Amino acid sequence: MMAGDNDAGVTAAPQQNNPLARKLSKILETRLENDKELLEALKALSTFFTDNSLRTRRNLRSDIECKSLSINEEFAEAFGRVKEELDDVHADVQAMADCCRDMTSRLRATRTQTHELIAKTTKLQTETQRLEMRASVVDAFLERFQLKPEEVKALRGTRDGSLHDNFFDALRRVKQIHDDCKVLLRTKQQTAGLEIMEAMALHQEAAYERLYRWTQSECRVLNSDLPDINATLCQAMRALQDRPVLFTYSVEEFSTARRNAVVRGFIDALTRGGPGGVPRPIELHSHDPLRYVGDMLAWLHQAAASECEHMQSLLKLVTKEGVADVVRQALAHITEGICRPLKVRIEQVVVSEPGLVALYRLANLLKFYEHTMTPTLTADAPLLACLAEMHDLGRRLFFSGLGARAAKLTERVELPPADLGATAGVSRGLALLAEVLESRDSSVARLDARRRDDLAEVVARVVDPLVQACSVSASRLAAVDMAVYMANSLYLIYTTLSLYEFTDRRLEMLQAQVDAHVDTLVSEQASHVLARAELSHVYAHVRAHAPKQGALSVVAGMDAASVKAAVGRFDAYLASPDASALPQCGLLVSPRTRETVAARSVELVSLAYAQIYEAIGAPENGYGDVNAIMPRTPAQVTKLLS
């Protein structure tokens, strides 16, 4: 075995060292699909190696070499043709180079000859560009800082004094140039800026003077009922706002024209009426004070609103702040002319004694229009002062008449009637007060603080004398009769005032007085019940007794039998409590007051019974069993009386 193994190893070693064997092993181990070069070679070989024979295999090398030789020959022949073409190209390039050198030499010679001409041409072109730039700068300067001939013509106006169509454009152009000159003053062109600014200032002043004269002439003719305010006049006012003095004079000229128109229109409305007699003249209603004054104030309010619209239309293009103040001042001037005729007529109406109600309504009407027109006029407007003066006059005459009327109603002391109701004088006074308060029209009387004070004064001028007269009338009555009479009179006054606004304070005062008289009636009613039941002396002893005085039962008239007898008579009252009511309480006009008196008097009686019950039941008073004397408890008595 060992010998065999050695022989195998000796045999394998010579095979590995055999070149042919190695080559065969290498060929067998080769993977043809991974060798791209070998595959390409085999593909090329397949094109001419078609017969696999011994001769062809032996001649394979020579065939490959012949094939390679033929390819090289073809390559050499192709490169020969390329060389010939390159030689031709080289010859052409050489010819072109010779031509370029010739042309370069010629150009060099020509450049030397024309260099001076080119320099002169370049210099002339540079000078031309500089002159063109200066010309454009001059043109731009003249365009910005000089007026065109047509603009100068527009500023000069026409022969008839009217304005040219392009007047305002030219004026804006002058203003723009004048403002732009301020820029020049900050540069080296100060002299030119000053000269141009001076020239523009002259143009500007002449234009504004011409514009002001034209505006005045236009405003003077705007004195018709419906003035035609054209767009040119509105532009003129907008332009004049740069000259405050001229602007103010122009507004005053317009206001004066409109003032004359308003006065004329007011006189026509009073005497002639509207177009064709519709509406009719206001003077035809002079017999009716309220309508007469109301028509005049309504016409004035409408005229003021129309004039406000005219002023706003005139100044609609004005952008200056405070235009609203200008409008209010102008309206104050426009309406000033109407103050005197209006004041004379209103004074005639007020002093003609139209009656208290008419005076009150006139005062309210004047106050309403004063309040309504205040936002559209200045605070010191003559018209507002006129309306305020007439309102104060009417107010003073009204309160004077109201005080005299109330004093006349209460100057004679009237005796209370048998039913203890209000007297005829009180009824007449309340009728007068109701008539005055009902005449107040809430649509025209704004209840501001002063207005509420007027209402309070109206109420005080009538109610205070009436209450005083009632007190004087009741001074000779008994306490119960006085309380019923005053409660009825005050209730009538209370119910009258409760129908109107802003009388809460007075109602509280009246209610307090009524409550005081109700307290008197309650006290008298309870005393009357206790007296009828003969419990008043028992209740008086109970309240006056002190524990240190000893037992209550030993007091004269307070023995158990006397108290029990009195309690028995009180039981009779419990059977029919209404029979013990004061007859005067049935004369109370107010059902609520009657119920209040009854309920509170019952409470007092129940409270007195409870105090007596507690005193009788006290052991120290020596009565013994309280149920034997007073079989009803306070709770039972309260339930029966309720």
> Tens of pLDDT along 405-432?
888 877 777 888 888 888 888 888 888 8
Q: Which pLDDT score, from 0 to 100, does residue 150 have?
A: 73
Split at pLDDT 50, 70, 90, the class of 559 is confident
pLDDT tens figures, 487-543: 999 999 999 888 887 788 888 998 899 889 888 888 888 888 777 777 777 787 777
Q: Which pLDDT score, from 0 to 100, does residue 332 have?
A: 93
Contacts of residues 551-556 at CB distance under 8 Å and 24 or more positions apart, as own/partner, are 551/620, 551/621, 551/622, 552/615, 552/616, 552/618, 552/621, 552/622, 552/623, 553/621, 553/622, 553/623, 554/622
Query: In total, how many domains does the chain have?
Result: 2
Q: Which pLDDT score, from 0 to 100, does residue 257 have?
A: 92
Of these ranges, 171-175, 339-343, 551-555, the one predicted with the greatest mean pLDDT is 339-343
- Residues 315, 317, 320: CA angle, nearest 5 degrees: 80
- Helices and strands, counts by H and E, the chain: 24, 0
Distance CA 138, CA 126 (A): 18
Split at pLDDT 50, 70, 90, the class of 67 is confident
Let me know if residue 345 belongs to a domain: yes
Point out the least confidently predicted range of 45-49, 382-386, 418-422.
Answer: 45-49
Last residue of a domain, one of 374, 393, 412: 393
Distance CA 403, CA 462 (A): 7
Let me know if residue 406 belongs to a domain: no
Q: Which residue has the higher pLDDT, 149 or 604?
A: 604
- Residues 558, 560, 562: CA angle, nearest 5 degrees: 60
Check if the beta carbon of residue 529 is closer than 8 Å to that of residue 606. no
Q: Provide the residue range defining the domain that includes 246.
A: 221-393
Distance CA 181, CA 192 (A): 9
Let me know if residue 131 belongs to a domain: no
Distance CA 143, CA 33 (A): 92
Let me know if residue 228 belongs to a domain: yes
Let me know if residue 4 belongs to a domain: no
* 472-498 mean pLDDT: 88
pLDDT of 13 > 70? The answer is no
pLDDT of 449 > 50? The answer is no
Distance CA 260, CA 334 (A): 8
Last residue of a domain, one of 362, 393, 424: 393
Split at pLDDT 50, 70, 90, the class of 305 is very high
pLDDT of 51 > 90? The answer is no
Split at pLDDT 50, 70, 90, the class of 441 is low
Let me know if residue 241 belongs to a domain: yes
Q: Which residue has the higher pLDDT, 274 or 126?
A: 126
Mean pLDDT of the chain: 81
Let me know if residue 621 belongs to a domain: yes
Give percent of the chain with pLDDT exceeding 90: 14
| Both tokens assigned to 136 | 């454009």
| Both tokens assigned to 120 | 């002169």
pLDDT of 447 > 50? The answer is no
Q: At what angle do helices 289-314 and 339-350 cross, to 10 degrees?
A: 160
pLDDT of 191 > 80? The answer is no
pLDDT tens figures, 227-256: 888 888 888 888 888 888 889 999 999 999
Split at pLDDT 50, 70, 90, the class of 341 is very high
Last residue of a domain, one of 393, 413, 435: 393
Let me know if residue 537 belongs to a domain: yes
| Buried-state track 163-177, b at ≥16 Cβ within 10 A, e below 16 | bbeebbebbebbbeb
Point out the least confidently predicted range of 1-15, 33-47, 118-132.
Answer: 1-15
Split at pLDDT 50, 70, 90, the class of 627 is confident
Spell out the SS3 assignment of 346-391: HHHHHCCCCCHHHHHHHHHHHHHHHHHHHHHCCCCCHHHHHHHHHH
Q: Which pLDDT score, from 0 to 100, does residue 448 have?
A: 55
